[in-house]
Amino acid sequence: MHCFRLPAAAPARLRAFWRLGRAGAVLLAGLLPAQARAQAGALAPATGALLLRPAAVFDGQERHVGWAVLVENERIVAVGPAAQVAAPAGARTLELPGLTLLPGLIEGHSHLLLHPYNEAAWNDQVLLESQALRVARATAHAQRTLLAGFTTARDLGTEGAGFADVGLKQAIDQGLIPGPRLLVATRALVATGSYGPKLSVDENVPQGAQEADGVDGIVRAVREQIGKGADVIKVYADYRWGLNGTAQPTFSQEELALIVQTARSAGRGVVAHASTPEGMRRAVLAGVETIEHGDDGTLEVFQLMKKRGVALCPTVTASDATSQYKGWKKGQEPLPPRLQAKHLSMQAALKAGVTLAMGGDVGVFAHGDNAREMELLVQDYGLTPLQVLRQATSGNAQIFHLADRGSIRPGLLADLVAVAGDPTQDVAAVRQVRLVMKGGVLYKQP
């Protein structure tokens, strides 16, 4: 039996782990870079050069027939007409006939720690499901998301699961579990009394987000979330706490501005859940980067968003899904009032020329079904497949400040997806995922 010995110059910490035997080896593995370990769920490691030869390449803006892409380790090193992309000696070639290669899709609004509300009500998930169970579900959700072609996801709140999204992100980054690159918002911020769950007034139950009010409370909460690992701060600028459960603003203009100021000082952007014109207006004036939902937005407030460079993530699938959960029979019955309002707001947003982010509020509906948002934007709201495909790739990358992904060009991360057919003409093609690569690592291939 061959015995391996650590060099005398090895760091004392590693030598201590080595003396622990097999248990120490397990701990030692956790100290090594992710790329030095086998990637969980991966089919091939991120080493050497790989030439991808699909029928066409969608580079984040346009589709090019007959192009090829050369990947080396975790980066794209060349892209262009196949005759002009030369593979180095020893490179592998992967032929992808009939497939379109595109940048890894970017999910703009997800909740990996939630599962569909027709399986369990939101209240029950927050109050009755243990954090261990929720994290186990989220692990499966992350894998489904990645295999559906979404190599990056913005996860906008754990909904009562504390800072579990930070650990989930770390597990993915360390190669322990397969999943998309995550931008996490941790607990999210709500004004005291505005959020839920709400049970008997005699009981103070755990809330689905972090309550904070006033100067001291807001600054402390924002800084705590950043210190715990938040990539972005999410605030609920309005919520259903008005008379008879109507949506009304929560934080004051001054409080919202303080949230943005505190986050920006630490290099974080702020996103706002907002559906009322006043909640949206306050959030836009405060300097948030995106408005989530915007269900009752008016032309006036969308024009303000356009002027201030604030994007809208409309999450049309969340409204569609919850309406069906409540009994609406799509295609057989007229649109319910909530969806009528959503259509009017989207018409106003498009008229104002607001930049749209692509994100469906996944978790309200099933993870891995992320493409449903793209399909509904085309089928129900009149966008073209090309518009939606740009939103889900280069558009989201620009809005979310992800300069290293979202397009196919040299120097960017090799986050790539191949689908059957032409998604610039038929958005449903994004469901026909045949190849998934993240950072040069193959998780699915023909």
Q: Residue 104 has which token pair?
A: 């890894």
Q: What is the mean pLDDT of residues 139-154?
A: 98
Q: Confidence band (pLDDT; 50, 70, 90) for 42?
A: confident
- For residue 179, what are the contacts with CB-CB under 8 A and spacing of at least 6? 139, 142, 143, 145, 146, 168, 171, 172
pLDDT in tens, 288-344: 999 999 999 999 999 999 999 999 999 999 999 999 999 999 999 999 999 999 999
Rounded-to-integer distance, Cα 260 and Cα 266, Å: 10
pLDDT in tens, 361-380: 999 999 999 999 999 999 99
**105-399 fold:** TIM Barrel (3.20.20)
Query: How many other C-beta atoms can be found within 10 angstroms of the C-beta atom of residue 162?
Result: 16
Rounded-to-integer distance, Cα 436 and Cα 28, Å: 29
Percent of the chain with pLDDT over 70: 91
Q: Give the global pTM.
A: 0.91
Q: Does domain 49-104+408-444 have CATH number 2.60.40.3080?
A: no
Rounded-to-integer distance, Cα 417 and Cα 444, Å: 9
Give the pLDDT confidence score for residue 111 in this predicted structure: 98
How many Cα atoms sit within 13 Å of 370 on the Cβ side?
34
pLDDT in tens, 67-89: 999 999 999 999 999 999 999 99
8 A C-beta contact, residue 422 and residue 436: no
DSSP SS3 for 378: helix
Q: What is the mean pLDDT of residues 435-443?
A: 98
pLDDT in tens, 195-240: 999 998 998 899 999 999 999 999 999 999 999 999 999 999 999 9
Q: Could you state, in order of their start, the residue ranges of all structural domains in the chain?
A: 49-104+408-444, 105-399
